[in-house]
């Protein structure tokens, strides 16, 4: 065999071995997967669509599953009815620990990637002279619709910090603006994406201000509720807000069932972080999917995800270490 034929033979052999190896580990992956999101048209739904594109890059057929959202999705994962789900970490933490809404531990959940934050912050009129969350003491505050996470976190944080409201009003955020305008309440509160429409209207048209926390209080909140990370509403999100506002951040994240193959999760994250432009083009909320923001993960990582982040030099918080 002459030299050229020999080199060609070796190249073919190496390629065959490589492709054979790829087929071996890919063959163990699920052939099709569904990603649990929430209702059609919501942020979860569109974020799920972005991750479908990531799986398609991996030659895995994926679809978005319309669900009841962050309380429903942990149940689907626990029962292995679906393998992937987007869940607000506050709800996921209650599910994993069997507290709050959860009647039992949903211990099959494993976190993959922090996706986007919901910021906990207040808004009021400048003339109210309210500077921080503690100044809500003795005030009438709207926490948004009854049973929502904003309402829940307002009450939980108030109880933790010893802030006693005169009354908590549960009305839609649009009505909160009208109540502030008419002098019926003192402030509004939200845990959600920013800019919040109601807070934006108050700051733009009613000489409103954004209310945050004292730094020490953020530490107390995280100690009690690990999924509420100390964070900041970035400067200039609202009118007349040239400075960052200390806030809680409940990061929504993508979760997987613990039995999803490690190499599939590793490849998913590798493809995800190599496809930042694709993600942001699909939905602007995904601009926060960066390696730096994985410090906000609050639940145990899937082993495949842990391996990926360690290799990338990401400092994994203790609360996100995989179960032993």
* CATH of residue 270: 3.40.190.10
Alpha helix stretches (DSSP H) within 71-214? 72-78, 89-97, 149-161, 173-181, 197-205
Asked if residue 84 belongs to a domain, the reply is yes
| Predicted local confidence at residue 3, as pLDDT | 56
Of 235, 250, 265, at which residue does a domain stop? 250
Final residue of a domain: which of 204, 234, 250?
250
* Mean pLDDT for the stretch of residues 116-133: 95
**Do 67 and 131 fall into the same domain?**
no
Q: Identify the pLDDT of residue 299.
A: 96
pTM over 0.85: no
Q: Both 246 and 257 in a single domain? A: no
Q: For residue 109, how many other CB atoms are within 10 A of its CB?
A: 24
For 230-245, write each residue's pLDDT tens digit: 999 999 999 989 999 9
Q: Is residue 20 part of a domain?
A: no
Q: What is the pLDDT of residue 22?
A: 44
Of the chain, the percentage scoring pLDDT greater than 70 comes to: 92
Mean pLDDT of 75-88: 96
* pLDDT value at 286 more than 80: yes
Rounded CA separation 212/122 (Å): 6
Query: Residue for token digits 């490690």?
Result: 262
- The distance of Cα 232 from the centroid of its chain, to the nearest Å, equals 15
* pLDDT at 121 exceeding the cut of 70: yes
| pLDDT, tens digit, 9 for 90 and up, residues 145-165 | 887 788 989 999 999 999 999
**49 and 192 fall within a common domain:** no
Q: Is the pLDDT of residue 303 over 50?
A: yes
Please report, rounded to a whole number, the percentage of residues in the chain having pLDDT higher than 90: 78
150 in Cβ contact with 192 (< 8 Å): yes
Q: How far apart are CA 202 and CA 135, in angstroms?
A: 18
Closest by CA position to 119, among listed 262, 240, 288:
288
Domain of residue 113, residue span: 30-117+251-320
């Amino acid at each position: 065999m002459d030299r050229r034929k020999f080199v060609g033979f070796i190249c073919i052999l190496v390629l065959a071995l490589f492709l054979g190896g790829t087929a071996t580990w890919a063959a163990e992956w699920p052939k099709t997967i569904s990603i649990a999101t929430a209702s059609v048209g919501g942020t979860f739904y569109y974020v799920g669509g972005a991750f479908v594109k990531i799986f398609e890059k991996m030659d895995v057929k994926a679809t978005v599953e319309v669900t009841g959202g962050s309380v429903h999705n942990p149940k689907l994962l626990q029962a292995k009815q679906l393998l992937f789900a987007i869940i607000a970490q506050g709800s996921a933490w209650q599910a994993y620990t069997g507290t709050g809404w959860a009647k039992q531990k949903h211990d099959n959940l494993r976190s993959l990637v922090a996706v986007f934050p919901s910021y906990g912050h207040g808004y009021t009129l400048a003339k109210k002279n309210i500077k921080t969350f503690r100044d809500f003491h003795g005030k009438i505050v709207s926490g948004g619709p009854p049973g929502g996470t904003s309402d829940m976190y307002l009450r939980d944080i108030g109880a933790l910090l010893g802030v006693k409201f005169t009354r908590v009003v549960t009305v839609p955020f649009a009505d909160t603006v009208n109540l502030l305008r008419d002098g019926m309440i003192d402030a509004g509160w939200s845990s959600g994406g920013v800019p919040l429409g109601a807070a934006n209207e108050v700051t733009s048209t009613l000489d409103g201000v954004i209310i945050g926390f004292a730094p020490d209080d953020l530490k107390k909140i995280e100690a009690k509720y690990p999924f509420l990370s100390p964070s900041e509403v970035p400067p200039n999100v609202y009118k007349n807000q040239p400075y960052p506002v200390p806030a809680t951040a409940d990061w929504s994240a993508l979760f997987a069932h613990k039995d999803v193959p490690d190499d599939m999760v590793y490849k998913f994250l590798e493809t995800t972080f190599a496809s930042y432009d694709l993600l942001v083009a699909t939905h602007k909320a995904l601009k926060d999917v960066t390696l730096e923001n994985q410090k906000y993960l609050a639940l145990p990582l899937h082993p495949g995800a842990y391996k990926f982040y360690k290799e990338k030099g990401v400092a994994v918080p203790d609360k996100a270490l995989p179960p032993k």
